Each structure stands twice: as C-alpha cells, then as structure tokens.
Chains A and B, each alone.
Chain A
Amino acid sequence: MGFLRFLGFTVVRAGQGFWRNKMMSLAATATVILMLVLLSGLVIVLGGLNSGLAYIESKVGVTARLVDGLAPEAVDQLVAEVSALPGVASVEYVSPEEAMRRLEQAYADRGQTLETGGSDISLYASIEVALTDPAAATSVSAALGERPEIERITTIQEQYDKLLGVTNVVRLAGLSAMILVGLTVVFMIVNTIRIAVFSRSREIEIMRLVGASDAFIRWPFIMEGMLCGLLGAVFTVLLVALVWGPIQPLLIEIFQMPTAVGAQFFTFVAVLILSVGLVVGMLGSWISVRAHLAAGV
C-alpha cells in the first residue's frame, strides 16, 4: 500500500512536472526521437548486413569444377584426399545431373521454369568443399589448384571480406554517431530536469522541511526524465511500425536477405527502442537530480 501511494504520487507529480515544463520536455522528447530514429536505422542496416554476413559465412567454401570424364574411382580418391586437408569440414561431389536438378530447383523457387530451348544441356561436375573456418579458404584453394582433376576453383571469400569491411565501417560510424547523439540527448534531459528542479525549488525546500524522504523528492524528477524517454520511444516505435511495411522490399533489394526484416526482428527493434528510451531518460534525470538535489548535509 505504501509503495502504491509512493508510485501514484511519483507518477502524478512527474506528469504534472512534464506538463508545466512542456516546452523543454517536448524539446527533450524530440531529441530522444531523433536519437531513437537513428538507432533504429542503424540497427536495421546492421541487421541486414549481419544476416548477409551470416549467410555468406555459411556459404564460404571452395567450389572446384572437375575436368570432364573423370572416373568414379578418381572422384572417390579426390574426395577422400580433399577431406583430409586441414580446415576442411566436408566434401560433396555434385554430379552434372545433380547440378542440373539444383538449377531447375533454383528456377522453380523463383516461380520460373528452366527453358533450354529444346537442346540437351549438360553441366559440369564439381566438388563443394565446406570449411571449418572461412580463413582456411586460401590454403584449401591452393592445394586444390595443384591437382590435375580440377579445372577451375571458385570461392566467395572476396565477397565475404568486402561485406565484412562494409559492416565494420557501418558499425563504427553508426556507433560513433549514436554515442554523440546519445550524449546530446542525455545533456538535453539533464537540462530539462535541471530547469524542472529550479522551477520547483520552493516545493523541494518545503518537502525537505516537512520530512519528505529523498525518494519522494527525487523520483518524480527521475520519472519525468523517463517520461520524456518513454514518449520519445513510443513515438519512434510507431514511426518504425508505420514505415516497416513499405521499407521491406527496399531492404530485401539492398541486402538480398529476408532474415533481417521479419516480425521477430521488428519486436527486437521495438523492445530495444523502448529500453534505450527509458534508460536514457532515467540516466539524464538521475545525473541532473544527483547534481542539483545533493541535499546539504
């Protein structure tokens, strides 16, 4: 009961404080929105890049096209020897028939039919080498290159490295921008609450004199900062929800990966926005209250 009274008092006072100091409160809320919109954008872009990375990582391996007419025994021997190389997880022989089946399947997945124009086409046989570690691609490629059964080697290591580089740059730039904007937001909230504290200094003085505990004095201000953060977060979540549908095709177009844009990912982004909004609001007001309500002795 006591706690409920305290909570009720704190929430009501925080709401009153927000409203009385509305220009500053709204300005602080707007900066929270700016920060959270940036954060959402960053998380969505990083989500896309990461799922792209994860996809490529799963595919990083070495594909080796075999010379025509290789005897089944020679294939078996090649598979056995390549499997024994360090860094190799598994080796799969893909026959020309299997390669054709996969091609047809790929077409079918896109809702198309493979048209060969009536001619009988034949694909190359190959081996697909899966690696235990993407870093082993170079040494495995080199070993395969020396074998006469192998005509050509392809890897997607280069693509992976490029994407990893882009992801790292985005991460770094995004995090730096987030830290800068985050500090600005905390600063804005510190100032908003500072003004609130000053404008209610008479009230605070009376509260102290009549024996209000520190919690009763401080928490309404902290709650007020959290209110700025929460309102900003709710607004941002609504904004993201609004654009979530329209940006889906764009994201799939850019990243070629549907994994980053599912409903589960939206929930993650929404929870992240709400948590960051609340924490930033609380942090800003806590700093302000600590600095300005450090009561006498």
Chain B
Amino acid sequence: MTDGRSVTKARPAAASLIGDEPLIRLVDVTVTYPNGKEALINVDLEIRRGDFIFLVGPSGAGKSTLIRLLIREQVATTGRVYLAGRDLARVSRSQVHRLRRRIGVVFQDFRLLPNKTVRENVAFALEVTGAPLDEIRRRVPRLLALVGLEDQARQLPAQLSGGEQQRAAIARALVHDPAILIADEPTGNLDPVTGWEIVQLLLEINALGTTLVVATHNQEIVTALRRRVVALEQGRMVRDEVGAAYRRG
C-alpha cells in the first residue's frame, strides 16, 4: 500500500449534498524542501464541506506539511491548493490573515498563552483581529459554553487539566467561526478517556457544520469512528477511504 497508484478513492457522498465545490482541493501537489527532501509527492485530495477526515501516517509521512499547506504557512512547490475555489498560492501575503480566519487550528501542545486566563486566551484571538469589544463579550462566553469551560473561564492554563487546555484551544480556534477546523494530534498529550472526550467534542463541532481534519496516530479512535481516512506514507497519499479503520502501511 505504499504505492501512490493503489489509492482507494474517497466516496464523494454526504458532503456533495451541500454543494459540488470541494472546500479544499489539492491537485497534484508536491512539496520539496530546499535540502531536496520531498515532503509531499503528487498528492490529490478533495475535502468537502462537512467532512470529518482522519489524516494518518507515520512520523515524517507528510501530515504536518499538508497541514502547513492548508493554513498557508507554506506553498506547494508544484501543483495547486484551493480553499473554497481560491488558489492559495495566489493569496497575497497581505491577505493571508483573512484566509486564516476561515481556518481554525489546534495542536497537540495546546499553545495557550500561560499568563492569560482561559477567557483571555479566547478573547485574545478576537482582539488581535480588531474585533469590537461587544463582539468579544458576546462570543467568548458562548464558545466557552460550547466546549464546556464556563466554570474555568478565569483560570490560567496551568490550573487546568490537559483535556481542559485542549478544550480552551478548540474554543480559541473557533472564534472566527471557521469553515474548517484542523486538529494536529489533538489527543496526543491526553490520557485515553480525555482523548475520547476531545474527539466527542470535535464530532459535535463537525455536526454543527464545521469541516474537520484530524491528524492522529490514535488507532483506537480512528478505527472506532470509521470515518474517512487519508493515509500518507513517505510523502505519498496511499489511502483515501471512507468508513475505514486505522491500518499500518
């Protein structure tokens, strides 16, 4: 299954009910680093609105590079990456910030600001985009309620459990009501029970209409949920299958 040609194509099912145009489309994308290493090789991928995708593969397979492409931290060496029909390579640097407001990102290490409370961490994401004060006052409690952190609003990250910190990070990632939420190993630093709670939260967010891309090594969760699985190995997409289990290449 390491050959790119043996890819099982995704079923363009549920999301196609919403609209024909994919939310994200990668066309023959290759990323080559200056040292010559190819992080992604001829990747074709379509993600439709409302999809929930697990991105799996061993370390160094190209998952992080793919995520960096989606959040426009990087551009493809060859090929095209489209978000809602827009070629990301053509987004000027001065416009990248607008694009990023449509994409929420959470990481394994939460990346919360340690000297700010949970409420301040979430509000910060609105403040730095120039959101009016009344919008901040209105949105932040709603987001904290969504992730179940109303009672921890005034606590610092260090006073929270890992799961709570990840919830805070998810609330922050949702401040701009993004079309897509990308979670890079969201359960990597959590115990299994807490990991499941986070996945449940992600499923709820997906059910509300947000497209989810979850990069993970967590076989148990991937196998149990039977969602669409995109597998990368050595930069090639080796599998794109709906209702799949986690499988080693």
Contacts and interface: CB of A to CB of B under 8 A. Distances in A.
A202 B128 contact: no
Contacts of B130: 2, 5-6, 9, 213, 216
B172 interface: yes
Interface stretch (A53-61, A161-169, A204-212): A204-212
A5 B128 contact: no
Contacts of A296: 73-74
A210 B71 contact: no
A206 B111 contact: yes
B98 interface: yes
A121 interface: no
Contact of A212 (B71, B129, B133): B129
B132 A210 contact: no
Interface residues of B, number: 28
Contact of A206 (B94, B101, B113): B113
Interface in A51-81: none
Nearest to B75: A297
Contact of B132 (A5, A209, A295): A5
A1 interface: yes
Contacts of B105: 209
Nearest to A12: B127
Nearest to B178: A211
B100 A208 contact: yes
Interface in B128-146: 128-130, 132-133
Given A1-B132, A203-B113, A295-B93, A210 B172 contact: yes
Given A5-B132, A202-B111, A205-B111, A210 B74 contact: no
Contacts of B128: 9, 207, 210, 212, 216-217
Interface string B69-80: 001111100000
Contacts of B127: 9
Nearest to B95: A213
B140 to A, nearest CB: 13
A208 B175 CA distance: 14
A202 B109 CA distance: 12
B72 A211 contact: no
Contacts of B129: 210-213, 216
B101 A210 contact: yes
B161 to A, nearest CB: 21
Interface of A: 1-2, 5-6, 9, 202-203, 205-214, 216-217, 295-297
11 contacts: A1-B132, A2-B130, A6-B130, A9-B130, A205-B111, A210-B100, A211-B101, A212-B129, A214-B94, A216-B129, A297-B74
Interface of B: 71-75, 93-94, 96-101, 105, 111, 113, 124-125, 127-130, 132-133, 172-173, 175-176
The 5 closest A-B pairs by CB, nearest first: A211-B101, A212-B128, A210-B125, A211-B100, A213-B97
